[in-house]
Amino acid sequence: MAESAIRENLKLVLERLEIACKKRSLDLQDVKPRLVAVSKIKPVESIIEAYNEGQRHFGENYVQELEEKAANKEILERCPDIRWHFIGHLQTNKISKVLAVRNLFMIETVDSQKLATNLNKNWPKFGALGSKLNIMVQVNTSGEDEKNGLPPSEVNSLVNYILTECPNLRFEGLMTIGMFGYDLSKGPNPDFLTLRKCKEDLCTELGLNKSEVQLSMGMSNDFEHAIELGSTNVRVGTTIFGERTKKH
């Protein structure tokens, strides 16, 4: 995609984000959501163009692609403050590859005690001394078999385990991938409502400060609606970079 197109698309997304924020409840209007530009299957040049326009957070779904992009000479030289989010399913045998990524900011897809345990064990080998790895817990709010994430009923248990048994991890919040193509004429997206309730129940049971627990929900087709319902982290790809070719 041409530089001008990415510039205009990014500008439009940020404008739409601001408008959506103004439609939120009063207690959320001062919380600006983080925009994660999903750059999977997109060339290095597109990432650099978005970075040059001020975008800093980028999301990748595939371990190998994240490795390659994060180590790319051009990105290292021209995007020193880039912040990578891993937003795909992470297998335990690929943990070291992701943790070795330079400028890794967050893993949004922790969905089991086993994965949390292994991330906690391995992070000190890669992170700065005394640092913690930012993570989110992925919840399968729609109950669809093809989606990863743990069921809402298991959220509190896993988060409690992370907080008490994983000193090298920093729990940042909850993430979900809502049902694609939901018809908003039917009312608020039930997946987003479910994640919001998970947060409320979690904070009540574990005594957490609600303002410190993020919600990562909303993508290109529904990020404005997600923001209105309380999302603090939206993952937008196609609307910024254009349609993707299918990965083989």
Grouped pLDDT means (10 residues each) for the chain, 248 residues: 85 96 84 95 96 98 98 98 98 97 98 98 96 98 91 98 98 92 89 97 97 96 95 97 71
Cα distance between residue 11 and residue 53, in whole Å: 9
Residue of 205, 202, 204, 206 lying closest to 215 (CA atoms):
202
Query: Is 245 a member of any domain?
Result: no
Q: What is the pTM of this model?
A: 0.95
Query: Is 104 a member of any domain?
Result: yes
Query: Is 246 a member of any domain?
Result: no
Total domains, the chain:
1
Query: Is 244 a member of any domain?
Result: no
Query: Is 126 a member of any domain?
Result: yes
Domain that residue 153 falls in: 5-20+30-179+187-236
| pLDDT computed for residue 217 by the predictor | 97
| pLDDT computed for residue 16 by the predictor | 97
Query: Is 221 a member of any domain?
Result: yes
Query: Is 247 a member of any domain?
Result: no
User: How do strand 57-60 and strand 214-216 relate by DSSP bridges?
Assistant: unpaired
The packing angle between helices 44-52 and 3-22, to 10°, is 60
**CATH number for position 77:** 3.20.20.10
Query: Is 160 a member of any domain?
Result: yes
Residue of 248, 245, 222 lying closest to 235 (CA atoms):
222
| pLDDT computed for residue 9 by the predictor | 97
Contacts 24+ apart (CB under 8 A), 234-239: 234/17, 234/33, 234/34, 234/35, 234/36, 235/36, 235/38, 235/59, 235/85, 235/87, 236/13, 236/35, 236/36, 236/37, 236/38, 237/37, 237/38, 237/39, 237/40, 237/42, 237/59, 239/9, 239/12, 239/13
